[in-house]
Structure 1
Amino acid sequence: MTVVPPAAGEPRRPDGPRNPGDAWVVAPSGEKYWGRFGAAGLLAVDAERGVLLQHRVAWSHFGGTWGLPGGALHEGEGAIVGAVREAQEEAGVPDGSVRPRFTSVLDLGIWSYTTVIADVVEPFEPVISDPESVALEWVPFDEVDERPLHPGFARAWPALRELVRARPVVVVDAANVVGSVPDGWWKDRAGAARRLAGRLTGLSVSGAELGLGGDAWFPSIALVVEGAARGIDAPEADIEDFADLRLGGDVAVVDAEGSGDDAIVAEVARQVEAGRYVVVVTSDRELQERVASAGAAQVHSSGWLLGLLDGERR
């Protein structure tokens, strides 16, 4: 592998001098890939309008094709942050307008590309904001294949199109999870449930753990609380460290008016009816059988979730 700087005549970035990551990685076979530290792109998904595509300027790599806003990562920069930064630079994607749902990584050993699939949570119109775009358009899902696509995106799109249909939600039996950790929760059930809700904010689960493709997923959470824990507020994500990026799914708190088990089964049925891919967390054997009958795709013990939160199941 060799690293080759960009040609002298190539346009600079919109904010001044090039970053050290702006260089070609050349494989022994002669193939070259943009981004010394890898690259990332944003696949913004709008339920009404489709996906945001960029018509690449002629002088760019595979110019004239349609692909994703994206580019080279900076040294030490995370792929999600880098993908959103590049999309802001190339397509004017506003702060806080998208929420990552999952990532898909192409790792070639010498170089990697991360596709960040993100849902539009604040509708926006893309704006051509640097020389790399000829056009930016929202393209309906069933029309993407009609465009001349960037070869890399063309190879990835069939699998991504299927994964975009999956909207996982994790329904959590709060009492069961909290009760599995002897930390004095019985002295303050509401406080213990509130702490659990905070830990669930921004939960990342691998595609393998969920039984889905892709790499890291950020599922929505439905935290079912009962008894003295009812009435706690849903936590607000701290997004300052992500440049106003909303990382991870929402954490919704569901108050059980009566039986906690009945409320969990009802929540599972509601989510299944809405077309969601439902994962349930409870160690209660009888409840596990009930939620499976209600349509849950997966049922896991409290230990599974605690392992994720403690970083033991990455």
Structure 2
Amino acid sequence: MNTHEPADGWVEAPDGRRFWGRAGAAGLLVVDEGGRVLLQHRADWSHFGGTWGLPGGARHHDESAVEGALRESGEEAAVPGDALRLLFSSTLDLGFWSYTTVVARALRPFEPVVSDPESIALGWVAADDVADLPLHPGFAASWPRLRAELESEVHVVVDVANVLGSRPDGWWRDRVGATDRLLAVLSRSARAGVAASSLTPDGDESSAGRSAAPASAAGSDARAFADDSATEPPGAPTWRWPTVTAVVEGEARAVGDAFDAVTVVRAETDGDSAVVARVRSLLAAPGPVPRVVVVTADQALADSVRAEGAVVLRPGAFRRAVGLD
């Protein structure tokens, strides 16, 4: 691979292994509405040439993992960044080098285009057929967990009145204003994403966190490796961009509509009934069953949504996750 940017180059581990990207690397896993994933047939001259993996490569020093994955996939496969909705990312962090798999859903159809010499071919592959291909070893290791996560998108439903009521900060003097400020924070957080571990009741994303084994190094020229001490499965989410629904009631229904990243549901009667109805709607929608997280401290409501199949996150933990506390 030719080096063109300051960050293009190898990083050498203490044991002599080499990893591509002085600022780390990132790749993009895109799934379309039919459940197919976009894969890259890697050029024969590349590391693990001839295998299938993800478009991606070395990050620039001044860009995030998401920015790097979108740029690389655009350069290698003409993936339109504005056609994607981010779902989650999974990061392999070795301390001296990292690789991030950014996972997104295509919002509209597009055809990839081989745009540089790093690809033999690009194509949409049915999820059931991915494991039958000769995969890059890093991607092969992470694919089972990545696929499971693709089939269980996260939706957060916020009981706004309960979250506001969890802090005696005078919100009751201006319910609409307090609700507006909370929704603005939720909207920013929905766009920026949150730590995956923050969206579970016990704060543990069933092995989320820093992966000690490859989190899909398929798009880079990193040497595949395994760590016998790994306690977390490769492909485990470290960051999520869940869909967010905010349920408002009473006077707060007068709040504005300028929250593009949040769906605002104005309860016609009581907020609890609207929360339960939203949970039922999400779980009954066609396609894979999502993971629904309800934010509330109301015990009766918590019992009701658990009975529907949701999990419950207390307001304090949620406020910390989105930067309110």
User: Same fold by TM (over 0.5)?
Assistant: yes
Question: Take 2:309 and 2:144, find their aligned partners in 1: how far apart are those partners?
Answer: 27
Q: After the TM superposition, which of the residue ranges 123-132 and 199-208 deviates more from structure 2?
A: 199-208
Q: 1:217 is matched by which residue type in structure 2?
A: R
Question: Take 2:177 and 2:139, find their aligned partners in 1: how far apart are those partners?
Answer: 46
**Alignment-derived partner of residue 218 in structure 1:** 241
Question: Take 2:20 and 2:143, find their aligned partners in 1: how far apart are those partners?
Answer: 20
For 1:96-127, what per-residue CA distance to the aligned partner results, in whole angstroms no more than 9, with x for missing partners?
Answer: 11121111111223221100011111321111
User: Alignment partner of 2:163: what SS?
Assistant: helix
User: Alignment partner of 1:230: what SS?
Assistant: helix
User: Alignment partner of 1:41: what SS?
Assistant: strand
Q: 2:52 is matched by which residue type in structure 1?
A: W
**Alignment-derived partner of residue 230 in structure 1:** 253
Contiguous gaps of at least 5 residues in structure 1: 1-9, 13-17, 238-249
Question: Take 1:89 and 1:208, find their aligned partners in 2: how far apart are those partners?
Answer: 32
Q: 1:100 is matched by which residue type in structure 2?
A: L
Asked if structure 1 preserves the Cα contact closer than 8 Å seen for 2:43 and 2:118, the reply is yes
**Alignment-derived partner of residue 257 in structure 1:** 268
**Alignment-derived partner of residue 57 in structure 1:** 43
Sequence identity percentage = 51
For 1:220-276, what per-residue CA distance to the aligned partner results, in whole angstroms no more than 9, with x for missing partners?
Answer: 111111112225444445xxxxxxxxxxxx411111111111111111122222322
How far apart are 1:305 and its partner, in Å?
1.4
Pair 1:76-2:62 in alignment: yes
How far apart are 1:291 and its partner, in Å?
1.6
Residue 270 (structure 1) aligned to one of 273, 281, 285: 281
**Alignment-derived partner of residue 215 in structure 2:** none
User: Alignment partner of 2:158: what SS?
Assistant: strand
Question: Take 2:255 and 2:42, find their aligned partners in 1: how far apart are those partners?
Answer: 48
Question: Take 1:164 and 1:303, find their aligned partners in 2: how far apart are those partners?
Answer: 28
For 1:16-65, what per-residue CA distance to the aligned partner results, in whole angstroms no more than 9, with x for missing partners?
Answer: xx111100112233322110111000001112151100111112221111
User: How large is the Cα RMSD of the aligned pairs?
Assistant: 1.9
For 1:53-110, what per-residue CA distance to the aligned partner results, in whole angstroms no more than 9, with x for missing partners?
Answer: 0111112221111110100011132111111111111110113111211111112232
Residue 300 (structure 2) aligned to one of 282, 286, 306: 286
**Alignment-derived partner of residue 197 in structure 2:** 208
How far apart are 1:183 and its partner, in Å?
4.2
Question: Take 2:23 and 2:324, find their aligned partners in 1: how far apart are those partners?
Answer: 25
Question: Take 2:149 and 2:129, find their aligned partners in 1: how far apart are those partners?
Answer: 17
**Alignment-derived partner of residue 302 in structure 1:** 315
Going from structure 1 to structure 2, the CA distance change for 1:124 and 1:234 (only over 3 Å counts) comes to farther
- Aligned counterparts, 1:1-314, within 5 A: 10-11=1-2, 18-201=4-187, 202-203=189-190, 204-209=193-198, 210=200, 211-212=205-206, 213-236=236-259, 250-274=261-285, 275-296=289-310, 298-310=311-323
Question: Take 1:233 and 1:94, find their aligned partners in 2: how far apart are those partners?
Answer: 31
TM-score by length of 2: 0.82
TM-score by length of 1: 0.85
**Which of the pair has the greater relative contact order for Cα pairs under 8 Å at 6+ separation?**
2
Question: Take 1:135 and 1:162, find their aligned partners in 2: how far apart are those partners?
Answer: 26
User: Alignment partner of 2:317: what SS?
Assistant: helix
Q: 1:58 is matched by which residue type in structure 2?
A: D
Contiguous gaps of at least 5 residues in structure 2: 207-235
Asked if structure 1 preserves the Cα contact closer than 8 Å seen for 2:195 and 2:321, the reply is no
User: Alignment partner of 1:162: what SS?
Assistant: helix
Q: 1:186 is matched by which residue type in structure 2?
A: W
Asked if structure 1 preserves the Cα contact closer than 8 Å seen for 2:183 and 2:259, the reply is no
Aligned residue pairs: how many?
Answer: 285
